[in-house]
Structure 1
């Protein structure tokens, strides 16, 4: 079973957004872009690099460049265990 997004974020994964610029297969002088988002683990970015390898192997449009950003959505201090809850009347 795949871990949930919340479990991945608690393990240090963050949202990685990449913009791929690639050349059109039939018109090599035309650049197009594709936006990709996935939870990934910095600084190695295994999912991003796996996608880049997939692109180079399977997609006809050759990559021109890739730019990406990464943001951790949950930090260790953002989560805490709640033992009790006191409703305010």
Structure 2
């Protein structure tokens, strides 16, 4: 069975993290943080937009800000095949 994360990467999706700051329903001056993470497609982020749409229509906490980090933007160096290998004691 193929891992869901691996199959998402094969379909061109990359790991996306959103830091969502919202006003607490009972104390509007206090901000709370929620971290959302899933595989999504940049730059339109359809899954994130769907989640934020659900949030704004069904939850009481008013959104204050959303910061997005996407692995397509922040990615480690690509790996490549090396023809030799050395072993040190």
What TM-score comes out, normalization by structure 1 length?
0.75
CA positional deviation for 1:44? 1.2
Structure 1 unaligned blocks of 5 or more: 79-89
Structure 2 unaligned blocks of 5 or more: 73-77, 80-89
Q: How many residues align?
A: 75
**Runs (4+) off by over 2 Å:** none
The corresponding residue for 1:39 is 39
For residues 58-89 of structure 1, what are the alpha-carbon distances to aligned partners after superposition, in whole Å with 9 as ceiling and x for unaligned? 110000000011004xxxx86xxxxxxxxxxx
CA positional deviation for 1:4? 2.5
Over the residues paired in the alignment, what is the CA RMSD in angstroms?
2.3
What TM-score comes out, normalization by structure 2 length?
0.75
Matched, 1:25 2:25: yes
More relative contact order in 1 or in 2 (CA 8 Å, sep 6+)? 1
Q: How does 1:10-89 map to 2 (within 5 A)?
A: 10-72=10-72
